[in-house]
Structure 1
Amino acid sequence: MKRIASLFLIVTLFYNVMGYYLMFAYQEEQAWVSSMEKKHDSEFQVIKLNATLYSFIEDTDFEYVNEDVVINNKSYHIFKKRIQNNILSLYYLRNSHQDAISQDLKDIVDNQLFNGSSSKESPVKKLLKSFLKDYVANTAVCVDFSPKTAVLSSEPIIMPNQALDSGYISVSYSPPDFV
């Protein structure tokens, strides 16, 4: 029974570590997408495809698509599409961030769990070392109150649901205990 419980906990820990990386990778990708959407149309790369089907397609204005496409192990992000004169124009950019994330996840799985090296460390110990670096935060904050230096502030973390959290500012450390 203990073995089954420990195996379940190790699998759950591994699942949470992967989810941790994927969640922050998704947030970074969405920040990149929102910054790229502000670019002018001439800065995008364009693929023009013949859209002749069995019926005539009406011309459309730009439509935001916001999709990822993988072609030959390279990730592309399609921002806009437009149909004009039966030609489908896809406005895209190369998404090297997604390529790096997928390569990092592949390296984590290969190196930490299935590494064939002669290291005496077990895969669980390697996983716990990376777990400590990622999950145990160093929350030491040093603020200098001398009049000569200006206090540097960071921009608040932008959450995807801004309409719900519009009155709150996210900080990277917890509030002090007043007990």
Structure 2
Amino acid sequence: MTCEPRRVLLLACVLGAGIGLNPGPWLPRFSWDGLNLLFVGLIALTIVFAVVAAGIGMRRGPYRMMVLALAGLMALGVLPAGVLALVVYRPAERMAELESEDTVYRLYRVECDLLCPTRLELRREREFMSVVKLVRPVWYGEHDHAELRRSPRGDVEVVDGQRLLYRVRE
């Protein structure tokens, strides 16, 4: 069995998409938000390219036309979605930050405009080489403002004035 470059490229694209877009507890992200959009766009375009390359490499017949039609449909869905993401995208505003041993807890304000109300999001982040970070969303809340503080027991707390909204036990 030989390894054709097109099949290796398609497998690499699917694995990259799985790692980058997985719904697991830790999400790999770049420290600069623009690179996250570029990463997702490049994965989508690379998958379309790999499907086209696989279709062109097939012998003439109905399967080749189906693969090329699939690539065309994927491109028609990817390009408008990418343009829409670039136009609608608004980065989250960092409101507060607390450092722990090897992680950083950050409280963000996310504005979705029409899709959802303004909400707060608490994330646990681990940075590697100031370029890539692992992000784990911990808590979401539909509040206008809040603060982070450390309790006397060492827990991280999200508070609104004196009202406790969420506690992370360490």
**Which one has a bigger Cα radius of gyration?**
1
Question: If the length of structure 2 is used for normalisation, what is the TM-score?
Answer: 0.24
Using CA pairs below 8 Å that are at least 6 residues apart, which structure has the higher relative contact order?
A: 2
Name the structure where strand makes up a greater proportion of residues: 2
